[in-house]
Structure 1
Amino acid sequence: MQTKRKTSLLSLLLVFMTASLQAEVKTPAFFNDHMVLQRNISVPIWGWASPGELINVSFGDQSISTKADKDGKWLLKLKPMEANLEGQTLTIANHSIKNVLVGEVWICSGQSNMQWRLSGAFNSKEEIAAAKFPAIRQLNLTRTAANLPRTDVKGEWTVCSPETAKDYTAVGYFFARSLYKSLKIPIGIIDASWGGTGIEPWIPELGFNMVAELEKDKIELHKILPVNDKNKQKWNDYLDELESWLPGAEKRVSQGSLPLNMPDRPDSGMPVTHHGMTKIFNSMIHPIIPYGVRGVVWYQGESSWGQGDYYFFKKKALIESWRELWGQGEFPFYTVQLANLHKFNEKAEGGDGYAKIREAQKRSLELPNTGLAVTYDIGNPVNIHPKNKQDVGKRLSLWALAKEYGRKELVYSGPLFKKLHNSGAEAIVHFSHIGSGLMVGEKKGLEPVKKTSTALKGFAIAGEDQKWYWANARISADGKSVIVSSDKVKKVMAVRYAYRWNPIHSNLYNREGLPAAPFKSDNW
């Protein structure tokens, strides 16, 4: 029937859309007062109108125009602008968006530890009262999921104040506050987070297609997408059913009743909730592309911890596909490594709980322009939602300030494992990002890390028999490496550090107060 439709469903929908837009040029629902535009790039402005309609846009000293295409969509770009703390009006056709700033825009995405509000952070009462930063703005996107990509999503920009800040993402707020205090320019954060979600709903179809190691996921996803003749037939049958259903649905609506028996889309076999592959990307991320942004900060993994090493390939798919779709090059993508949780595992080999997914998160540093905020020293063993979001935001901001904003003097990462030098009963562990030197440190609450004289802990070693023992560890005299040994290991072949669910006793830092990332030198 699909080849003989007198009026296809697509045509009907286009008629309805054109009629609704005839009298008004529309922009995305999240284009509203107090928004922040990204500085120093060509800024995309887009929307919908009647096909061929002329759209005029003005902002500051710029006035540009374009025409809607045959489908009623239009897009134009403002020329790159310097940061501006003074609110201006963005005029699109006859619609005015007021108090618009130009500065830096970051997406804050992930699950509940990113969604966690400032009202639930340490010292929330004092922090909220002090949140008087009108140059910091948050766009809070409506949490919604969809089987198919959407072109719009609701969201509201708010000006940071004691009245609004309580509902800001705490990690995002402290990240933005640190950037603002250093840069003195507007900072916009886009809260695109959803508690309890795995990584799969955030990855678009493109991501599953881009990474060869995700072939089984791609096959599962493609069971229902119109990527072959069989599936195209299913979708055409579905569209035929919809076309037959529409007249009766319209009649019931005209009579003040709800339509009945809307046909079900082809069954995907995936979860009907928001947890299915691509579903949150479709409804929360796809609609905001290509909004001008600087980059992404990402806090997710608790719901995916059992995937271990496989998580890296999904993270790669996420990062590379978002970058590809945005078309802004390899924009920065900074990850929060999972905090400590549950009881301390006394077995030297570790490997329990979050150990493997932290390795996968750290492996994302193999991808260009990525960063890692290590947090196993600031979590809460009995709460998956630690309240110390101040240090999380601060550690993320160090990456941005050093890598994106020219603060080359900053030490932005804790020590990262570089290599193991075997020399018999003792072995030397070498690191990158040692700053001004290594130290044994102690972190208490929101206080800065302090150097201590206690023993260096958290290292385990194994010999040729691959049996693990806790190591005696000490920092070398020059402060650049760690020397490990055990009277139970004749020749050290491998070393692990903080490789467990709760590495709370691990205490290696650089002198700038950033913790060494957990690692394993072996592939056993």
Structure 2
Amino acid sequence: MTIKSGDSELRIVDILVGEVWICGGQSNMAWTMRGSTNADIEISAANFPEIRFLKLPNVASPREQDDFPLGKPTDWIGKWQKAVAPEVQNCSAVAYYFARRLHRQLKVPVGIIENSWGGTMAQHWCNKNTLKQIPEMAEDIKKFDEKYQAWIDGGKEEGAQKRLAKDLADWEKKSAEAKAKGEKEPRKPNANQYKNPGDGRQPAGMFNGSLLPIANTTIKGILFYQGENNSFGTSWKPFYRTFPAVISDWRKAFKDPEIPFGIVQIAGWSNRRSMQYDMNHHCNVVREIQMDTWLNTTNTGLIATYDTNSNGSIHPGHKLPVGERSARWALSEVYKIKRFGSNDPLEWKGPLFREAKFESGKAFVTFEEGTDRGLRLDQDVDVGFVLAGKDKIFHHAKARITQSKKDKRPQVEIWCDEVKEPVAVRYAFSNLPIGGLMNAREIPAYPFRSDNWPMTPHQSTGSYIRRVK
């Protein structure tokens, strides 16, 4: 393409027209091919020049922005790259596998705009006006505003550097005195504490600085992988409002109330085996809110990932299944692709809990029609199921696939010797879930619980109460 103005001429080459998706969230979306499972063969084998990816710079701002600061000309961040070796090593692994499947199926160029920032929470990706309407966010907004104003009143960057220099000089003096006396030396001032708070993680900061500058871009849809940092401490408390707000605020920013929005449900993490059965952990709260957001928000999808973690890390290396499952959702719901050799929709959901009935000391669980085809337990291993009686104490249970007498559809029959009269059943409902329940496409069942009992997450004040079902 050539653009002329008077005697000036600008020529742009290597232009593609295709499908553009935004892949956003936090570190599991930012996780590159370089750090993912099978990187040694996937990177060298990548040869998809019609898949392009653009990693946006991490920019936060207390005020709405319409552009990004320019980076170095040699920096790959902020510059379109091709999904070929070795460039692809810098691409988000989830985004790459997602785009690769779309490209293979649709046979058109695919562009990925990766807009993720490790350690961010849902409230960082919302409009500040939205956050002001959420009571649980009032204190966080107040603290940031006061900290940012203090930095401005203190002389901004120049004032901060002067304070740091003075504090370092004082520290050196006190450190020398303590050392001479054989006493413990004081902690050295951390230079990060003197930086502009407006450049870091903050309420609405990433929405202002990282999303709004691209809001005029024409995109097909959004894939969002975030929630881990809302599972720490008490950060789960506003999540039931802030996570749905991410979807509505992004849709408003792009001026499209129905833009497809894929939700990647967070994986499990912990190297402590006991956490596999910890049902009061914040991760359960986050996953359940992600589930409820999906069920109550049009044109969205939910991708289960709890089975992708084999090493207990908060950053599972197995990104291929995440990208492939996400692509299944997009191909089925957004592009209306049918199953090969059939006019039926492409399957993308795992078994989705419908109801639980309790009879003769057992629980009988059925799933939404269309998600239970070929329902089975992987290698007949019945782990992940727990039952509780009226005492609300859960015990590990046995399970098998049977057939409903009513409609002849598959169901899971669950029982436990310790619970003679069960009233509640849960599956894969823990910090680090384990379970092998899946359908014919080997898509894992979504974690579920039949009860709505309040939970008190660790390190928290107050209980989590499910607000929608």
- TM-score, normalised by the number of residues in structure 2: 0.76
Secondary structure of the residue that 1:173 maps to in structure 2? helix
1:315, distance to aligned residue in structure 2 (A): 0.7
1:398 aligns with 2:328: yes
1:474 is matched by which residue type in structure 2?
R
1:489, distance to aligned residue in structure 2 (A): 2.6
Which range moves more in the overlay, 395-404 or 290-299?
A: 290-299
**Is the CA contact 1:180–1:187 (under 8 Å) kept in the aligned structure 2?**
yes
CA distance in 1, matches of 2:411, 2:136: 42
**Is the CA contact 1:344–1:503 (under 8 Å) kept in the aligned structure 2?**
no
Determine the structure 1 residue equivalent to 2:305.
Answer: 375
Determine the structure 2 residue equivalent to 1:221.
Answer: 141
2:356 is matched by which residue type in structure 1?
L
1:140, distance to aligned residue in structure 2 (A): 1.4
Determine the structure 2 residue equivalent to 1:300.
Answer: 226
1:189 is matched by which residue type in structure 2?
I
Secondary structure of the residue that 2:443 maps to in structure 1? coil
Determine the structure 2 residue equivalent to 1:460.
Answer: 386
Secondary structure of the residue that 1:415 maps to in structure 2? coil
Q: Write out per-residue CA displacement over residues 97-156 of structure 1, whole angstroms, 9 at most, x where no aligned residue.
A: 332222111111111111111111122122112211111111111112222111101521
CA distance in 1, matches of 2:136, 2:306: 32
CA distance in 2, matches of 1:325, 1:90: 31
Secondary structure of the residue that 1:334 maps to in structure 2? strand
CA distance in 1, matches of 2:332, 2:244: 23
2:441 is matched by which residue type in structure 1?
E
Q: Write out per-residue CA displacement over residues 3-32 of structure 1, whole angstroms, 9 at most, x where no aligned residue.
A: xxxxxxxxxxxxxxxxxxxxxxxxxxxxxx
1:195-274 map, 5 Å: 195-209=118-132, 214-217=134-137, 221=141, 272=198, 274=200
CA distance in 1, matches of 2:316, 2:275: 23
CA distance in 1, matches of 2:116, 2:298: 23
Q: Write out per-residue CA displacement over residues 174-230 of structure 1, whole angstroms, 9 at most, x where no aligned residue.
A: 000010011101111001111122222211224325xx5x234257537898xxxxx
1:221 is matched by which residue type in structure 2?
I
| Cα RMSD after superposing both structures | 3.0
1:410 is matched by which residue type in structure 2?
L
1:162 is matched by which residue type in structure 2?
A
1:89-488 map, 5 Å: 89=1, 91=3, 94-153=9-68, 154=70, 155-209=78-132, 214-217=134-137, 221=141, 272=198, 274-306=200-232, 307-308=235-236, 310-342=238-270, 343-345=272-274, 350-365=279-294, 366-408=296-338, 409-432=345-368, 433-441=370-378, 452=379, 454-477=380-403, 480-488=410-418
CA distance in 1, matches of 2:246, 2:53: 23
**Is the CA contact 1:309–1:360 (under 8 Å) kept in the aligned structure 2?**
no
**Is the CA contact 1:199–1:314 (under 8 Å) kept in the aligned structure 2?**
yes
1:295, distance to aligned residue in structure 2 (A): 1.2
**Is the CA contact 1:456–1:474 (under 8 Å) kept in the aligned structure 2?**
yes
Q: 1:194 to 1:465 in 2, by over 3 A?
A: same
CA distance in 1, matches of 2:37, 2:401: 33
Q: 1:302 to 1:260 in 2, by over 3 A?
A: closer
- Kindly indicate which of the two structures has a greater share of residues assigned to strand: 1
Q: 1:480 to 1:340 in 2, by over 3 A?
A: same
1:515 is matched by which residue type in structure 2?
P
Q: Percent identity?
A: 34
Determine the structure 1 residue equivalent to 2:185.
Answer: none
Larger CA Rg, structure 1 vs 2 = 1
**Is the CA contact 1:349–1:460 (under 8 Å) kept in the aligned structure 2?**
no
**Is the CA contact 2:351–2:438 (under 8 Å) kept in the aligned structure 1?**
yes
- TM-score, normalised by the number of residues in structure 1: 0.69
Q: 1:490 to 1:125 in 2, by over 3 A?
A: closer
Which range moves more in the overlay, 178-187 or 350-359?
A: 350-359
Secondary structure of the residue that 1:377 maps to in structure 2? helix
1:346, distance to aligned residue in structure 2 (A): 7.5
2:366 is matched by which residue type in structure 1?
H
1:382, distance to aligned residue in structure 2 (A): 3.1
Secondary structure of the residue that 2:323 maps to in structure 1? helix
2:363 is matched by which residue type in structure 1?
A
CA distance in 1, matches of 2:225, 2:53: 17
**Is the CA contact 1:114–1:193 (under 8 Å) kept in the aligned structure 2?**
yes
Q: 1:185 to 1:92 in 2, by over 3 A?
A: farther
1:417 is matched by which residue type in structure 2?
F
2:85 is matched by which residue type in structure 1?
P
1:491 aligns with 2:421: yes
1:407, distance to aligned residue in structure 2 (A): 1.6
Q: 1:473 to 1:148 in 2, by over 3 A?
A: same
Determine the structure 2 residue equivalent to 1:500.
Answer: 430
